[in-house]
Amino acid sequence: MISLVATMVFFASGADQEPKLSAEAQKELQKLEGKWKVQKLASAGQELTPGPQDREVIGEFKGGKWIFMGQDKGVVVALDLTTKPRCMDLKSLEKGRGDAVDEAIYEIDGETLKICFYQGRGKQRPTSFDVPKEKNTILAVLKRVKE
């Protein structure tokens, strides 16, 4: 169940693209680099936590790209380091979504990454890490994978 929701949440594959970020934003992006294991997903007022029977759900930030379950899914096109929580824009590479940019907030605390993003029409950046009530807003809590 969690794999299905996670696949829906984290975009579909597409073409290679490199982010055009400032040096400061590139440095911040390096903090996100690596593999992350999903600990919790939440949307539409519901939370899903992987159980022992569920397949591991792994995402990875690599060179500005978001790779999910081994496939390129999106590219980071903007980071705002002046806000709390910090803001991220992810250009979806999903077929059928055109040049959609998903607005997100994120927070890194040690080995934990929280990211909450909006995948609906128009602009509607999330403002908190509370369980979203809307179906187009997704909260993910991930733990860094030690390699």
Give tens-digit pLDDT for 28-87. Answer: 999 999 999 999 999 999 999 988 888 888 989 998 888 878 777 789 999 999 999 999
- Does residue 97 surpass a pLDDT of 80? no
Q: Which residue has the higher pLDDT, 25 or 4?
A: 25
CA dihedral over 41, 44, 47, 50, signed as positive or negative? negative
pLDDT, position 10: 43
pTM summary value: 0.82
Q: What residues contact residue 76 under an 8 Å CB cut-off, 6+ apart?
A: 19, 21, 29, 61, 64, 65, 66, 88, 89, 90, 91
Pairwise CA distance, residues 118 & 9, whole Å: 10
Integer CA distances (angstroms), 121 to 63, 97, 101, 118, 135, in order? 27, 10, 10, 9, 12
Domain hosting 95: range is 2-144
The CATH number that applies at residue 30 is: 2.40.128
Number of compact structural domains in the chain? 1
- Does residue 15 surpass a pLDDT of 70? no
Pairwise CA distance, residues 137 & 26, whole Å: 26
